[in-house]
C-alpha cells in the first residue's frame, strides 16, 4: 500500500470515528431494508455498538450478524449529514469478553432504563448487542430530503388556536 493510500485510509477512519463518537444518533439501514432508522449507540474499540430487539429497547430490524449496513452520521449541533459509511454487522455473544466490554459502555449511556442495574442481565437474556464495524468505505452523501411523510393520524392534526387563549395568557402575566 502506498503512503498516499495509507494516508487516505487513516483520514477516512478518523472522519468516521470522530463523527460517530460525537453524534448521539446514527441512521442505520440494514441490507434489504427500505429506509434507515435512527439508533442510539456508543463508539467502542473502533465500532458503533448497539443494543436492541428486546422489550423496551430500540428495534434493530434488518441488522443481521455477518451482514452489512449503511450508516449515516449527523452533526449533533446542526443536525446535517456529516458522513455515510458502510459497516459489517457483528453480533456479540452474551457473556463473551467483547460483549461485556460493549455492554459496560452501553450501560453508561442508556437513559431511563426501567430496571436500572438489572438491565445487563435482561440484555443478555432478551436483547441483541451488535457492533457496526466500518469497512473503510465512505459513501457519497444523498441529495435532497430523505424524510418520510408521517402517517395520517388525528394525533398529528393541528387545530387553530382558540380565539380566547391569547387573552387568558395575557391576564395571567398581568396578575404576577
Please spell the DSSP secondary structure of 28-95, one letter per residue: EEETT-SS-EEEE-EEETTEEEEEESSTTS---TT--TT-EEEEEEE-TTT--EEEEEEEEEEEEPTT
Span 74-97, pLDDT tens digits: 887 887 888 999 999 999 999 899
**Most confident of the following: 35-39, 53-57, 126-130:** 126-130
Give the model's confidence band at 1: pLDDT under 50 very low, under 70 low, under 90 confident, else very high: low
List, in order of start, the domains of the chain with CATH numbers.
3-151 (2.30.110.10)
Kindly report whether the global pTM for this prediction surpasses the value 0.85. no
Look at residue 148 in the predicted model and tell me its pLDDT: 65
Strand partners, 138: 85
Helical pair 97-109 and 119-126, crossing angle rounded to 10 deg: 130
pLDDT at 157 over 70: no
The residue-averaged pLDDT of 147-160 equals: 69
Rounded CA separation 67/102 (Å): 19
The residue-averaged pLDDT of 9-28 equals: 89
Dihedral over Cα of 143, 74, 33, 43: its sign: positive
Look at residue 5 in the predicted model and tell me its pLDDT: 73
The residue-averaged pLDDT of 65-82 equals: 87
| Percent over 70 (pLDDT), the chain | 88
- Mean residue pLDDT of the chain comes to 85
pLDDT at 154 over 80: no
Look at residue 78 in the predicted model and tell me its pLDDT: 80
- Nearest in space to 86 (alpha carbons), one of 50, 48, 127: 48
pLDDT at 166 over 70: yes
Amino acid at each position: 500500500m502506498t503512503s498516499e493510500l495509507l494516508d487516505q485510509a487513516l483520514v477516512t477512519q478518523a472522519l468516521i470515528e470522530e463523527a460517530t463518537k460525537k453524534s448521539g444518533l446514527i441512521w442505520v439501514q440494514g441490507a434489504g431494508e427500505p429506509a434507515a432508522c435512527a439508533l442510539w449507540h456508543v463508539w467502542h474499540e473502533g465500532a458503533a455498538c448497539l443494543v436492541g430487539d428486546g422489550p423496551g429497547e430500540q428495534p434493530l430490524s434488518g441488522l443481521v450478524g455477518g451482514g452489512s449496513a449503511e450508516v449515516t452520521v449527523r452533526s449533533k449541533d446542526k443536525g446535517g449529514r456529516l458522513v455515510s459509511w458502510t459497516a459489517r454487522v457483528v453480533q456479540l455473544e452474551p457473556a463473551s469478553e467483547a460483549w461485556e466490554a460493549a455492554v459496560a459502555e452501553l450501560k453508561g449511556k442508556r437513559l431511563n432504563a426501567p430496571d436500572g442495574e438489572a438491565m445487563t442481565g435482561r440484555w443478555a437474556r432478551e436483547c441483541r448487542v451488535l457492533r457496526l464495524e466500518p469497512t473503510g468505505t465512505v459513501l457519497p452523501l444523498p441529495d435532497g430530503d430523505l424524510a418520510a411523510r408521517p402517517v395520517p393520524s388525528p394525533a398529528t392534526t393541528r387545530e387553530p388556536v382558540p380565539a380566547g387563549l391569547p387573552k387568558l395568557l395575557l391576564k395571567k402575566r398581568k396578575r404576577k
